[in-house]
Chain A
Amino acid sequence: MGIEVKNIQKKFNKKKILSDVSLELEPGKIYGLLGRNGAGKSTLLSIIANRIFSDSGDVVLDGESVFERDEALGQIYLMSERNLYPEGAKIEKIFKLTELFYGSFDYEYANELADKFGLDVKQKFGKLSTGYRSIFKLIIALTVPARYVFLDEPILGLDANHRELFYRELLDNYVKTQKTFVISTHLIEEITNILEHVFILCHGEVVIDGNVEDIMKKAYLIAGPQKDVADYCRGLNIIGKESLGSIHGNYIYGDLDDNRILPDTVSVERMDLQKLFVNLTNMEEAKK
């Protein structure tokens, strides 16, 4: 069950965008897909949702390839940054078009959400601000009967109040429907606690794939005088460093050595997902 992404490769104009990406999406979980600009997040989501073709590899939904299978497409919805709607169409008209495409549409829920976000459904799509375009697309994404919903940059242009409201409505929807969500965003701190599982994409490769809690258990900041820190961290997986005067910090991703004695001068702290992301992607960048 679920979606299996198998060895997806994609080039654009000879430039490698995705190199051999494999991952699994289980039903009923909230996933995060993180990556720097140009890491290949949108390309990957578009391929899974069958909006663009991959050069090789397969996407399997409940045991069958989604490529060239129309009914599978109705199970996956991608809300993307791109605006696919006619500028002159009214919001309520687009609700109708969505119903035609997906076979059903919960108008009551859509209107309730529009009300909460203050979106006028009589308005034309082309007249909406960036923030309200996002809101409108979010409403569609939360309402369509697809079992897998991909949100690519869902909070683009949303103010803090609308973001709060979105997280609330997303979780409310998730609890009620048990759909699978994949959220791709740069505002990592805001969504960390919402995610159950995270993928970090770097230069078209998955560098992290795991349960958020398990990952965070292995992310440390070791700080203290440079020499003591260096001694304590010898042989550990150092993914970043920083210093403030004579205090030195090493970011570690991986297990610590329990047999080592921690000097009084050295402290072990945790880092959050955003820090882990920044350090890991910087490190990968430096490798290139």
Chain B
Amino acid sequence: MHFNFNSTEPIYLQVASQIEEAIFTKNYAEKEQIPSTTEISRDFHINPATVLKGINLLVSSDLVEKKRGIGMFVAQGAYEKLVKKRRELFYQDKIVQVVDEAKRLQISEEELLNLIKRGY
């Protein structure tokens, strides 16, 4: 697992989003065990309560499930759920930004569409 933390965003959110990213990129497959709170805490020098708070976000959005006494696992259907969520956020998070920047750069709608085609 590769974690990359910045020092300004709340750490529990970063823990959640990094695990989410690993599920999305299929580094953690469905039904596969993810590292324990203790492991993440030790390896990345984060207070275990903070790690737990982050993981609980994933549990409550049904991406991760806890199995008592065994550990935590990627929930079945987690990948599909993430794709759906990210598609919904795609317009808001990416497209709006791209259009804003394009306007600042005086790139016309047609030019932008061409650029997108080129990048595809």
A residues apposed to B, CB below 8 Å = 30, 164, 167-168, 171-172, 174-175, 189-196, 213, 216-217, 269-274
Contacts and interface: CB of A to CB of B under 8 A. Distances in A.
Tier of interface size on chain B: 10 to 19
A115 B5 CA distance: 30
A44 to B, nearest CB: 22
Contacts of A193: 5, 11, 44-47, 50
Contact of A175 (B7, B12, B38, B44): B38
Contacts of A217: 10
B48 A171 contact: yes
B120 to A, nearest CB: 31
Interface string B22-49: 0000000000000001100111111111
A167 B10 contact: no
A215 B7 CA distance: 14
B47 A271 contact: no
Interface of B: 5, 7-12, 37-38, 41-50
Contact of B45 (A194, A216, A271, A273): A194
A171 B40 CA distance: 10
A189 B45 CA distance: 11
| Residue in B11, B46, B47 with the greatest tally of chain A CB atoms within 10 Å | B47
A171 B42 contact: yes
A62 to B, nearest CB: 22
B49 A196 contact: yes
Contacts of B41: 171, 175
A109 to B, nearest CB: 16
B27 to A, nearest CB: 22
